Every structure is written in C-alpha cells, then in structure tokens.
Amino acid sequence: MPLHFRVGQVENARKHLCLLGQPQDRTELQKLQAVEKHLCKCTDARRIRDWKSALRETDAAIASGADFSPQLFMCRVEALLKLHQLDDAESSLSVVPKLESCTNSCSQTKFFGMFSEAYLFFVQAQIEMALGRFENAVTAAEKAEQIDPRNVEVAVLLNNVKLVARARARGNDLFKSERFTEACSAYGDGLRLDPSNSILYCNRAACWFKLGRWEHSVEDCDQALSIQPNYIKALLRRAASNSKLERWADAVQDYEVLRRELPDDNKIAESLFQAQVALKKSHGDFGEEACNIKQFRAAISLPGVSVVHFKMSSNMQCKQISPFVDSLCDRHPSVDIEESPEVANAENISILPTFKIYKNGCCLKEMVCPSREMLEHSVIHYRSYNP
C-alpha cells in the first residue's frame, strides 16, 4: 500500500488497504481519503481552468502523503505555467520524481482522463513551448500522442504545437531576410494559437523595433514581461524602444534592472548613463556635470543639439554667463576643467569660458568667450541644423 499511495495511485492503494481478511489501518485510511479528496478537487479545478485552486489542491495532495507522484508534481508545473509563473514552473521540474522510479503499472493508470505517462509528456510539451524550445515541445507532444493516441486533449496540443513551431520558424527566416512586416505576421499567427508565449511576443517586438514602430515594440515587450518578468531580451528591447520614444524614465527603470542582472555588461552601463542624463535634461536639469571622458561622450551623443559649457567655478565670466545659457539651451552639459582635466585636454580647452555645440556626437561649432548675442544666434541656428 505505501508505494501505491506515495505515487498517487489511490485506487490501487485502496484495493490493497481493503483486502478481505486484512485489518484496516485507520491512520492509513484517513491519509488515503485525504489524498482522494484533494485529487478530486484538483481534477474539478483543472477542468474549469481554475489554476489557483488546482495548484492548492495539488500541494495538499502531495503534503497528505502522495509525495512521489510524477503526475502530481507535473500538475503543479502545469498550474504554475498557466498562472504565468514560468520561473517557478521551470524550477519545479527539477524536483519531479522520475517515472522509471515508479512501478510499471503507473503508466497504465489514468490521470485527468489520459494515461499517466502521456500526461507527463503533455505538460513537458507545454513548458518547452513557453521556454522557446519549440522542437523539444513537438517531440514531447508526439510522445504523449504515441502513448495515448485517442485522447482529444493530447491531439489538440500536438496540432497546436506543430503549428506554433512552424509559425515561429517562418518568422525567424523572414526576420533574417529583413522582411520584418511579414515576420510580424508570422509571429502573430503563432500567438493566435499560443497567446501566452513570451518568446513570440519578444520576437515580434524585435520586428516592430526594426520597422520603427516603437510603441508596438513596447506593447509586445510588456506582454512578454507580464508572462516572464525577468526576460532579459524583452527588457533590453523595451528599454531601447522607450529610448527611441524619449520615454527616459521608463528606459532608466529597465536599464537599472538590467544593470543589476548583468553588472559586467558595459553596453548596458553606458545605455543606463545616457538614459539618466537624458531624463535629467527632460526635467530641465541643465547643470549636468560630465566628470570623465565616458560621461562626456555619452552626453554629447544624445539626440538633438548639445551646448557644452567649459568653465571654471572661480572664473567670473563663467559665472556671469551661466544663467543665460541655462535659459537658452535645451541641453546644456557642463565641464568644470578643474574637476575634469582629461575632458578639457581631449577637447583642447585653454581659454574660458569656451562653448562647443555638438549634434549626435559631432562638434559643429566652437566659441571662445562669445557674446550673449553670438551664443544665442549659434544655438538657434544649430537647433535646426540637419547635415
């Protein structure tokens, strides 16, 4: 009885417990009844797609003694997957008891209306799909169909998995050929069959980005991240799209998450700094100090015109003209040559105050001790400059 009970075979466990002429163990019978009750509730919850209840009842059945049932552990994986808790679902796979450790009769029992072994492959196919391993998903679904060829639920899954895998492969081929609009359509075909697939949403977001439709890219990344919150590719694409839309606060938020996840990635660090600088500029904070070459290059490479004020805090002319520059310029990074001598040397600054106008990282004009009229005229002129 203990083995049948632990693997969740309640009917076989009951038969063993209730053999004629054998005294019934009240404690074991109570455990069996508890597992039966939770399994029944779990079956009902799964049938109506109440995945929170299915997860709760599965955990209760395991806690009641059916702690070596691969099917119950895979039911837990399925419920977590349906609840969009993909990381938890994936980690739960590592604690699923191996089928070969179970009795041979285990695979011949029914679980949720399908053969027990088929159910294991049925859930595996779903999680492989969610993780973007589409070929593995097809293989698992085919194994489930081989074990239980008459089960409708298995047949439907196999058909969907094949169609989604085909749509994703077609989308990838079109993307590689730079046929981004057609690739969007292909990924959309897959999403109509599997509307909770974060991989397909992220792939389509890449297409929207290439097409310059950054709003759509953000929307698809939002969908992907609602399903898989720590999806690095989706975070990167959303941050890049928000930067294109000049939604700097949103871009900074995503880059900060990415920085914590990938602390050694220099590109992310640079993108974060650029977004932070742009955010401050958008709030009217024109006093941003560029303290080193890296920060200086990032500041002058931002979209639009940057007017850089090379100054010294003790220089009276610098002090007098700074308020005028603040009111005049859309983007006004400053470099204190005492604090940032390497920047001053790289830009060959010898007389103060000096102003340089940059666009997309290129210096368009240099002015040494300019009058207010000259500075204003130059800024107005280069704002509309389009080389």
Residues 6+ apart with CB under 8 A from 329: 286, 307, 379
- The pLDDT, as a whole number, for residue 7 is 45
Does 97 sit behind a cis peptide bond, omega within 30 degrees of 0 on the bond before it? no
The order of strands in the sheet holding 354-359 is: 334-336, 305-311, 354-359, 362-368
Residue ranges per domain, the chain? Answer: 1-110, 113-117+131-195, 286-383
**CATH number for the 286-383 domain, one of 3.40.50.2300, 3.40.50.10090, 3.40.50.11540, 3.40.30.10?**
3.40.30.10
- The pLDDT, as a whole number, for residue 97 is 82
Output the six-digit token pair for 363: 């210096």
- The pLDDT, as a whole number, for residue 264 is 87
Which ranges of 211-363 would DSSP assign to H, the alpha helix?
214-227, 232-244, 248-261, 266-282, 293-300, 316-328, 341-346
End-to-end Cα distance, the chain: 83
- The pLDDT, as a whole number, for residue 217 is 97
Distance CA 5, CA 147 (A): 24
pTM of the model: 0.67
Predicted confidence (pLDDT) per residue in 227-254, tens digit: 999 899 999 999 999 999 999 999 999 9
DSSP letters for 337-351: TTT-HHHHHHTT--S
- The pLDDT, as a whole number, for residue 22 is 54
Among 244, 221, 247, 223, CA closest to 234: 221
- The pLDDT, as a whole number, for residue 333 is 72
User: What is the fold, at CATH topology level, of the domain defined by 1-110?
Assistant: 1.25.40
How far are the Cα atoms of 79, 300, 309 from residue 362, in angstroms, in the given order?
55, 8, 15
Task: Write out residues in the chain with pLDDT < 50, as ranges.
Answer: 1, 3-5, 7-8, 10, 13-14, 20-21, 23, 101-105, 285-287
How far are the Cα atoms of 7, 33, 103, 111 from residue 57, in angstroms, in the given order?
16, 14, 24, 15
Which ranges of 108-261 would DSSP assign to H, the alpha helix?
116-130, 134-147, 152-176, 180-193, 198-210, 214-227, 232-244, 248-261
- The pLDDT, as a whole number, for residue 94 is 85
Output the six-digit token pair for 215: 């709003």
Q: Enter the DSSP assignment of 290.
A: -
